[in-house]
A and B are shown apart, each in its own frame.
Chain A
Amino acid sequence: MQTKDELITTLKKIVKPYVQDEQAFEHVTESTDFINDLKINSANLVDIALDVEEEFDIVIDNEAMERMLTVGSSMDVITRKLAEKA
């Protein structure tokens, strides 16, 4: 399993194409909000979830999707789904 640093690096790579605020993206922390800070729209938030599914080979359900609003909560969702799979 990836370390926290590796996880955030992978997540940043997934999120990057959808980011509209590059400056905010340079200073990403776990509390960075996809919509409010990175100015990502709701449709691209879905793309991020689908890309996360593919990258980590996990399934994001509706409940998990609703929580994937920040970098930190997404890392939490990914970690849990990977643990369920293991």
Chain B
Amino acid sequence: MVANIFNNRTSLQTFTSILEKLPYSHPFLFVDTLNHVDENGVEGRYTFPVDSFFYTGHFKQTPVTPGVILTEVMAQIGVVCLGIFLLTDALTDDLAIAMTRTQIDFYKPVFPGETVTVRSTKEYFRFHKLSCNVEMLNSRHELVCRGSISGMMKPTTYA
């Protein structure tokens, strides 16, 4: 029992410290919570606020979450959060990141107010390049989009 409490608190601290190290802020932070993270993958969630800036123009009459934003949500949760976790030993504050490749197929639209879950599995992390297979599900557990995303992640200072 004691061990359980300890484990839960430890992972909560891990989630919090990852979220604190994310280099994004409003209106371009697309991570609400992390459900799980380990060296092989990550799962997290984001709810799209109905007043998100892109809904006024995409589309003019009918607000639908742009695919480029869904891609960004998958990259922030699936690649950047995982990368921060994997770099945890080396990382202090500064992190140089760049998305280098995306290949995504889209299956379902996401409307204002919806919550999505992102699951990412590490393909490899070598020489600062993190490559992941990532999928997004809506709250009905339907596949929204799926693909692969790669990025370069380098700590610019070492602890």
Interface residues on B, range: 10 to 19
Residue B100 CB within 8 A of the other chain = yes
Which of A42, A44, A46 has a CB less than 8 Å from the CB of B126? A46
Q: Does A36 contact B (CB under 8 A)?
A: no
Asked whether, in the complex, the Cβ of B127 is within 8 Å of the Cβ of A65, the reply is yes
Known: A42-B152, A43-B150, A43-B152. A50 touches B101 (CB 8 A): no
CB neighbours (8 Å) of A41 from chain B are 100
Q: How many Å lie between the Cα of A56 and that of B151 in the bound state?
A: 26
- Tell me how many residue pairs across A and B have CB atoms closer than 8 Å: 25
On A, residues with C-beta under 8 Å from B are: 41-47, 49-50, 62, 65
Can you list 25 A-B contacts with CB-CB less than 8 angstroms, sorted by A residue number? A41-B100, A42-B100, A42-B128, A42-B129, A42-B152, A43-B98, A43-B100, A43-B101, A43-B129, A43-B150, A43-B151, A43-B152, A44-B100, A45-B127, A46-B126, A46-B127, A46-B128, A46-B129, A47-B129, A49-B126, A49-B127, A50-B124, A50-B126, A62-B127, A65-B127
- How far is B127's CA from A50's CA once the two chains are assembled, in angstroms? 10
Say how far A14's CB is from chain B's closest CB, in angstroms. Answer: 16
Contact with A along B122-152 (1 / 0, CB 8 A): 0010111100000000000000000000111
